[in-house]
Structure 1
Amino acid sequence: MDIQKQLEEILPADRIKTRLIDVLSFAADAGFYTLTPKAVVQPVNEQEIIKLFHFSNAQFIPIVFRTGGTSLSGQSITDGILVDLSQFWDRVKIENEGALVRVQPGITGAMVNTYLKKYKRKIGPDPASINSAMMGGILSNNSSGMCCGVVQNSYHTVKHIRFILPDGKSFNTEVEGDYIRFENECPDLYNLLISIRSRLETDTVLHERIRQKYRIKNTVGYSVNAFIDFQHPLDILAHLLIGAEGTLAFIAETVMNTVPDYQFKSTAMLYFPDIYTACQALVPLNNAGARAVELMDRASLYAIENMPNLPSVIKELPSGASALLVEFQETTYAELEEKVNMFLQDLTRLSLLHAPVFTSNPKEQEYFWKVRKGLFPSVGAVRKSGSTVILEDVAFPVARLGDAITDLQHLFKKYAYHNAIIFGHARDGNIHFLITPEFNSPEEVTRYDLFMGDVVNLVVNKYDGALKAEHGTGRNMAPFVETEWGGEIYELMKQL
């Protein structure tokens, strides 16, 4: 029996895609990897998810979940069965006057924020792709973004999760009885989680290593901080799902704590003679209370400088210049004015090319952020034909970001990636670098392989940073999980 007929025992034919033209259209997500699925299915409820899990186990065919497909690291592609959740999983419910929001995986983060707007609240994670990224991917990659940092990322703002394990059993951390049921129905998993938690409680070196690694953004491997943040195995497992890229269970519904959507904002572009000098401004900006600090190197500014309504000064910047898009946000105008004025009085500590011009005009602010969020596609649009856009996502301690970027730029020169650009969430030491290699010869593949080896060595061994800060581990960094975490913690991850 072919796979179409087999799947029709679970779903109606109109929600199963096996024609070549259909599966090819799902072979890629927003990243540069391609895998052609055997079938694409569109379940509408949890019972169909459970049946798909049973089918997967019986037929030894992997299943992968996809919502918005905005992943840049290949998490939402497969040569097995692709489960498309973008059509029928979009329910949202506002609770407790906007303090909580209940979501299914197939609704965009932007739409959730639209529902929350009248309560002056929003979800914590704020990725640049929020208009297209859906909650399933935002949670499964432990997305963060421009303002949320570590404290308000997906992991830290989840309150309750309803999930389905690959064996079809479902649990909900909102239901008190599920804690006992989890122990009774999944004793092996329950005991494994207790064993790992106990090991980490008694091993002070590993315990502190985990705590230290999550002081900066980090989505490499499983969220093992769950073992030191929570006591009950069900809570531990629920939080392991955040950032697990769908490998442990299916997240059916999530209740999230929301965060304030500050109504008063002041925004400016700050220009510096070089990127190192820009990074020296990060600690003063963080101390001043800036909610967002976005870094753009000169190469990224070249890609946008001809866009309408941008300050003309951008075209006049010297070749090594850099910019920080800075925003202060507060609950009242008086608080905002105080913060901005305090910052402006301390400008002598910064080596600025031009005096900053802050704006509170919502349209001007919206345009600044539109330009920043569109930076990746703007650069990708002008790449050389036949090249591949690769965007990496790393994090360093903020105080060492300038040195780390300088070293990274040396690697660009060493491997002749002359069109590389750097931008990102500098407030958190999180940068994205983009290169456009051409994989048209073995030599080009070798060059990229050697480059990535040096990047890994730089991030992990020199700066003790994170190889993935907010994009999930992905396929590119999966081979280096043990390199970053070390053998003992990696073995604990493998047990899961």
Structure 2
Amino acid sequence: MESLVRAPEATQPPRREVDVEALRVLLEEAVDGEVRFDAGSRAAYATDASNYRQVPIGVVVPRSLDAGVAAVAVCRGRDVPVLSRGGGTSLAGQCCNAAVVIDWSKHCGRVEAVEVARRRITVQAGAVLDAVNHVLAPDGLMVGPRPSSHPTCTIGGMIGNDSCGASAQAYGKMADSVLRLEILTYDGVRAWVGPTSEEEFARIQAGGGRLAEIYRQVRDLRDDTLELVRTRFPRLERRVSGYNLDQLLPENGFNLARALVGSEGTLVTVLRAELAVVPAPATRSLAVLGFLDIFTAADAVPAVAAHRPLALEAMDETMYRLARAEHPDDPALRDLPAGAGWLLVQFGGDTAEEAREKAETMMRDVCRSDGRPAPTHAFLGDPAREDQLWRLRESGLGVEAYPPTGRQTYEGWSDAAVPPERLGAYLRDYDRLRRRHGYRDSALYGHFGQGCVHGRLPLDLHTDDGIATYRRFAEEAADLVASYGGSLSGEHGDGQALAELLPRMFGSAVVEAFGRFKAIFDPRDRMNPGKLVHPHRLDQNLTQRHFYPLEPRHTFFDYPDDHGRFGHAATRCVGIGKCRKQTFEGGVMCPSYRVTREEEHSTRGRARLLEEMARGEVITDGWRSKAVRDALDLCLACKGCRAECPVNVDMATYKAEFLAHHYRRRLRPAAHYSMGWLPLWAALASGAPEAVNAVTHLPVLSRLIKAAAGVAARRELPRFAEERFTDWFKRRGPSPSGTRGHVVVWADTFTNNFDPRVGRAAVSVLEAAGFEVHVPPVALCCGLTWISTGQLGVARRVLGRSVRALTPWAEAGVPVVALEPSCAAVFRSDGPELLNTPQTQLLSSRTLTLAELLERRAPDWRPPSTGGSAVAQVHCHQSAIMGYDADRAVLERFGIRTKVLDSGCCGQAGNFGFEREHYDVSVACAEEGLWPAVRTAREEDALLADGFSCRTQIAASGTGRRGRHLAELLATAISRPGATA
């Protein structure tokens, strides 16, 4: 790391060079927190969700609010810029800067007080919105604004951006929820601010000091600009651009807290907030109106909004097509009424009937003829389908980022707002503007009830000509919005993307007033400089400018969704941060982040480091990078991100690729040789499994073996089976002929060597269902353990051998049943990307789970209803690649009541949970969901877990319970008296 870095240019007092090493030492001495100036941390925080990149000087993660105050004091003493950061999901560049980044989201997120009767709460700035609402839910309350980033965004970030979301239709922007703020100025003033009566103003002045000076200067500014603000500020609910000088007006109570909302960290640091909260609707209903196009949908907005819905959203045909490509089997999308533009209208009520009546009244009124074609309409009465459709709308940014056909899209002009009554006309003009600049076929959607329009654009941000076109477009788009009396930003804020254009919206006099407001709080321009006031140009600091990732000469995986390029895959993340979810929200990704709450352990953080590795500036040692290795070290390779990330980042694959290059011709960790070569050791142990078990479980020898193998001392080594599944199958003789044809049961390493009863159970189930079962006569392996440890050359050879052995069956149309979900995922996903041959692709199409085979090839098999109940832990790879729908259907067919856990990864994850340095994280993952569920499960509940790793983690729970494979559960059911095929 360089000892000196130069801060960016500014129009305010010149900044001296920063002695980075001295600054780091001072911060470590003064701050109770994590002080990080390493390349990996700087890389992880170099970008947000925008088109901009600015590498920070360093990162501070304070353990308390006071520690954050101390960090600002150190920066003040060294005259260093500061950037307060929450969830880091900003789309206009306001969350990246060449400054000391203070990340409040890890430790400073407590809900300090809930006053149910007064409907208000006090929270720390780092509190995540969904976590706050989780606390409020038992009392039937919630925070009003709910942006689509609600699983990730923090209250401080929402205040910085004046966040809105779909719920702003009913509850307003964040400014409308703020009652008071505890703020910290760069020069050290710490105080609570809010509405200011004459008496309060007098009291502050009597106290004297810097706070009194701030209030006096702010009131002088207000008095000087009264008429200017009243006449030049758009009368628009969705005006997010600029500072909220209108909140200083006498009619608004000279509300300094609300004036600071939306200031994007350029004025003060927000420490705490007192917020008004609202009752959560008891029930909701969703009506959908279909129109000829998105323009006629926009024309209908005023009539729909007159019915006062909770939310009034829209999406066009392009958005619909992208969503269908991403979710082809989604029933909510199939239920949309005919049209090419849709309004999604949500109502609330105390009862389902009341909510439904509101929706039906709206549909009747809007569908009455007014000379225009009546819209089609549908009422989604199923809450699950309504939620699913709403989630699809919220995921719009990710869905449109990488369209299946066409160019990658970017932020750039994504959230302008105009008066809703003029929205249709504006959209027609805006569409013509897009087409004139060559930005066709991008989606239009958004919060139409308040005139706010979203949509990424296929910008060329790599070349000077493309960037010049983008600048011309942005300038003309700003003029167009201003001509409609609109706001350049209706939700995402100005940051760097729009701040330069503010004079076109407000005029120079208002922008000068913004500068005065900034100077009152931050005269030296050290708070998030270059954003909103004295801004960098919109075409500076662009992440993609002249950037083409450094591509390795060869890679092991094919990266079919990234043009065959690892560098493209490394830059795939768009920064939404869905991987930073809270535990209670369910899903798989990202298990290590849920435990550590550390940016570098999120999928986004790791992706940022890989991007910087491909860039070669901050991380300069490429595949040999220790920073990247350390960030990837706690990745469990669960593949949750491949399915749950809105842009399908596949960190498990990237990790395997990185490890393959990182350790090329180098000594690897011991676990790579022990766990990574497990199929070989299992084959050797098969000659004398009892003797091997005796040796590996003798107390002294066991400790020595674990130490040599890199296995955690507290882990029990798995025991080899006395008879392998393949040997049992050969001994029992051929399977009887079946009426449903042939099927191959894949004898994976885990089933074959450790848990052969699973294989035996699968054979009995398949034969009972009418199949003739075959098992390859020799032990084969899909290469999973070598893939997960990045030994991809060996993995490719091992996989190739298995593909050759299975090809005759695959060519004959015989399905291959993989009992171990991770092995099924190799054949279905990793295999074709690692060994892209026609035979591997064919095998991928032939590989099924047991449940998938029963659903597709034996849908009419109806065994007697057996009843019973189960608690199911779905293997991460199954969740990501195959899904669990077929298993649900089979369990229902057998009459087994099943509770499917939605608590994320079990934490074992193959070799990960066995490794000494990962044991604590593995156990913490289990404690997040699986182990509590095991402890509270009833004795009569079967613990269903198809993954060997999941069953291993269940066995380690200390409860004495054992996990069972679906095959075992079904075999037990059909073996009961009276059960027949």
Same fold per TM (> 0.5)? yes
Matching residue's letter, 1:473: D
Structure 1 distance, partners of 2:355, 2:316, is 28
Contact 1:421 1:433 in 2 (8 A): yes
CA change 1:422–1:341 in 2 (3 A) is closer
Structure 1 distance, partners of 2:222, 2:45, is 39
Structure 2 distance, partners of 1:328, 1:115, is 24
How far the C-alpha of 1:388 sits from its partner, in A, is: 5.3
Structure 2 distance, partners of 1:175, 1:425, is 29
Unaligned 5+ residue runs, structure 2? 1-18, 518-981
CA change 1:363–1:352 in 2 (3 A) is farther
Q: What is the aligned counterpart of 1:194 among 206, 219, 229?
A: 219
Question: Which secondary structure does the structure 2 equivalent of 1:127 belong to?
Answer: coil
Contact 1:172 1:178 in 2 (8 A): no
| Residue in 1 that maps onto 2:443 | 421
Question: Which secondary structure does the structure 1 equivalent of 2:416 belong to?
Answer: strand
2:301 maps to 1:282: yes
CA change 1:287–1:445 in 2 (3 A) is same
CA change 1:175–1:397 in 2 (3 A) is closer
Matching residue's letter, 1:207: R
Structure 1 distance, partners of 2:318, 2:453, is 14
User: CA offsets, 1:294-345, max 9 Å, x none?
Assistant: 111111111112422234366x967xx2111111112344532442232232
Contact 1:193 1:236 in 2 (8 A): no
| Residue in 1 that maps onto 2:312 | 293
Q: What is the aligned counterpart of 1:163 among 170, 183, 187?
A: 183
Question: Which secondary structure does the structure 2 equivalent of 1:394 belong to?
Answer: coil
Contact 2:164 2:174 in 1 (8 A): yes
Structure 2 distance, partners of 1:415, 1:145, is 29
User: CA offsets, 1:385-438, max 9 Å, x none?
Assistant: 984521521101111100100111101110111232111000001111210212
How many residues in Structure 1 have an aligned counterpart in Structure 2?
485
Matching residue's letter, 1:68: G
2:208 maps to 1:184: yes
Structure 2 distance, partners of 1:207, 1:490, is 14
| Residue in 2 that maps onto 1:139 | 159
Matching residue's letter, 1:195: D
Question: Which secondary structure does the structure 2 equivalent of 1:328 belong to?
Answer: strand
2:382 maps to 1:357: no
Q: Taking every aligned residue pair, what percent have the same amino acid on both sides?
A: 23
| 1:175-254 alignment, distance < 5 Å | 180-181=203-204, 184-186=208-210, 187-201=212-226, 203=227, 206-210=229-233, 213-228=234-249, 236-254=255-273
2:474 maps to 1:455: no
Structure 2 distance, partners of 1:459, 1:214, is 13
How far the C-alpha of 1:86 sits from its partner, in A, is: 1.1
Matching residue's letter, 1:414: R
Structure 2 distance, partners of 1:454, 1:174, is 38
2:88 maps to 1:69: yes
Structure 2 distance, partners of 1:43, 1:344, is 52
Structure 2 distance, partners of 1:215, 1:439, is 31
Structure 2 distance, partners of 1:115, 1:50, is 26
Matching residue's letter, 1:244: S
User: CA offsets, 1:4-46, max 9 Å, x none?
Assistant: 223222225x701111122101111122211111100011233
How far the C-alpha of 1:196 sits from its partner, in A, is: 1.9
Contact 1:262 1:329 in 2 (8 A): yes
Question: Which secondary structure does the structure 2 equivalent of 1:221 belong to?
Answer: coil
How far the C-alpha of 1:80 sits from its partner, in A, is: 1.5
User: CA offsets, 1:43-91, max 9 Å, x none?
Assistant: 1233333332232233222010111111111111111211111111111
Structure 2 distance, partners of 1:349, 1:376, is 35
| Residue in 1 that maps onto 2:871 | none
CA change 1:330–1:99 in 2 (3 A) is same
Q: TM-score, normalised to structure 2's length? A: 0.47
How far the C-alpha of 1:493 sits from its partner, in A, is: 1.2
Q: What is the aligned counterpart of 1:348 among 355, 368, 371?
A: 368
Question: Which secondary structure does the structure 2 equivalent of 1:52 belong to?
Answer: helix
2:393 maps to 1:372: yes
CA change 1:486–1:84 in 2 (3 A) is same
How far the C-alpha of 1:170 sits from its partner, in A, is: 0.8
User: CA offsets, 1:434-466, max 9 Å, x none?
Assistant: 102122321111111111111011001x20100
CA change 1:434–1:15 in 2 (3 A) is same
Contact 1:265 1:360 in 2 (8 A): no
User: CA offsets, 1:450-490, max 9 Å, x none?
Assistant: 11111011001x20100011112111101012221112222
| Residue in 2 that maps onto 1:431 | 453
User: CA offsets, 1:104-150, max 9 Å, x none?
Assistant: 11121111111122222211111111111111111111001112238
CA change 1:332–1:387 in 2 (3 A) is closer
2:278 maps to 1:259: yes
| Residue in 1 that maps onto 2:510 | 489
Structure 2 distance, partners of 1:110, 1:343, is 30
Matching residue's letter, 2:109: D
Question: Which secondary structure does the structure 2 equivalent of 1:323 belong to?
Answer: strand
Structure 2 distance, partners of 1:384, 1:324, is 25
| 1:312-351 alignment, distance < 5 Å | 312=334, 321-346=340-365, 347-349=367-369
Structure 1 distance, partners of 2:403, 2:355, is 38
Root-mean-square deviation over aligned CA pairs: 2.5
Matching residue's letter, 2:131: M
Structure 2 distance, partners of 1:440, 1:231, is 45
2:294 maps to 1:272: no
| Residue in 2 that maps onto 1:152 | 172
Structure 2 distance, partners of 1:273, 1:313, is 17
Q: What is the aligned counterpart of 1:442 among 464, 468, 484?
A: 464
Kindly name which structure, 1 or 2, has the bigger radius of gyration based on alpha carbons.
2
Structure 2 distance, partners of 1:258, 1:436, is 39
CA change 1:230–1:52 in 2 (3 A) is farther
CA change 1:334–1:309 in 2 (3 A) is closer
User: CA offsets, 1:207-241, max 9 Å, x none?
Assistant: 2433xx24331111111111115677xx6332222
2:522 maps to 1:464: no
45-54 vs 369-378, which deviates more? 45-54
Contact 1:214 1:225 in 2 (8 A): no
CA change 1:375–1:386 in 2 (3 A) is closer
Contact 1:37 1:80 in 2 (8 A): yes
2:126 maps to 1:101: no
Structure 2 distance, partners of 1:230, 1:475, is 31
Matching residue's letter, 1:262: P
| Residue in 2 that maps onto 1:401 | 423
- Which of structures 1 and 2 has the larger relative contact order (alpha carbons within 8 angstroms, sep 6+)? 1
Question: Which secondary structure does the structure 2 equivalent of 1:73 belong to?
Answer: coil
Hey, which of these two has a bigger chunk of strand by percent?
1
Structure 1 distance, partners of 2:160, 2:177, is 13
Contact 1:270 1:352 in 2 (8 A): no
